[in-house]
Structure 1
């Protein structure tokens, strides 16, 4: 019989070589305008204090926080059983929140987007393309010299 090519088969995974998401150099926030983003579960009551502390840490590193965005999970639809899961494994955020961050970055002409949360290499890669600027986790930004 005739075999149909490409149907029902997964595409081959690309090998991670030079230039892949894992090879992104650390971004130095010194002197940069940044958008600060935090992803929090509904169980996290002190998220505003955590955002303030992160903004203070970025200021100590020489960055200026020009906008903030908070994504909360489990506050409305989805309920308690999904509070520990990201809205999207690709972006960590919901689609609307990702658009909101992209608009804030463009409106303020920020140099980078800094997440409080740890990001995977793939998330960093996808978000960098979406926001059209470097995207880093606060833990990944190098300390001031």
Structure 2
């Protein structure tokens, strides 16, 4: 069945919005994973939160081979834009994406898991950049 189309100004067809794709359920047992957390500079306990996140992934059977933290608002310029992600496409900065990709490749991790929620578009973009499964903690934890 073809998606419903409606006409926009100028006579071009516009596709109706499709529901976001949900990631496949992941079985983490035996998987090597890289963890990523994006935090405001106001969050002082970010290392504790990352430790708890790593523990919860280990409880699901995963082996954590890398951890990354992106902090926002540490500098004066960052403080003004603290509530916005570095990139709507990847959530984190381009430099952090490169760092994560290098470690993912070096360790041959099976997945990169973000503590923060990801949109379907971010998940797909990051999966292409990392060449592996990308999930959010919301996809795995109740």
TM-score, L = length of structure 1: 0.82
Aligned to 1:3: none
Task: Quote the offset at 1:24 in angstroms.
Answer: 3.0
The answer to which of 26-35 and 91-100 deviates more is 26-35
Match of 2:72 in 1: 73
Is 1:139 matched up with 2:138? yes
Q: Is residue 62 from structure 1 mapped to residue 73 from structure 2 by the alignment?
A: no
Structure 2 alignment gaps of length 5 or more: 1-9
Confirm or deny that 1:33 pairs with 2:27: no
Instruction: Tell me by how many angstroms 1:13 deviates.
Output: 6.9
1:110 maps to 109
Match runs of 1:62-101 below 5 Å: 62-76=61-75, 78-101=77-100
- With over 3 angstroms needed to count, the CA separation of the structure-2 counterparts of 1:16 and 1:102, relative to structure 1, is farther
User: How many aligned residue pairs are there?
Assistant: 132
Q: Residue 41 of structure 2 corresponds to which residue in structure 1? A: 42
Whether the aligned pair in 2 keeps the contact of 1:41 and 1:73 (CA below 8 Å) is yes
Q: In angstroms, what is the RMSD of aligned CA positions?
A: 2.3
State the 1:56 CA deviation. 0.4
> TM-score by structure 2 length?
0.83
**Cα separation, partners in 2 of 1:126 and 1:29, compared to 1, 3 Å:** same
CA distance in 2, matches of 1:14, 1:101: 35
Please identify which structure carries the higher strand content.
Answer: 2
8 Å contact kept, 2:40–2:71: yes
Matched residue of 1:79: which SS?
helix
Structure 1: 5+ residue runs without aligned partners?
Answer: 1-8
Shift of 1:76: 2.4
C-alpha displacement of 1:52: 0.2
In structure 2, the CA distance between the partners of 1:74 and 1:57, relative to structure 1 (3 Å rule), is: same
Q: Point out 4+ residue stretches in structure 1 off by more than 4 angstroms.
A: 11-17
Structure 2 contact 23–135 (Cα < 8 Å) conserved: no
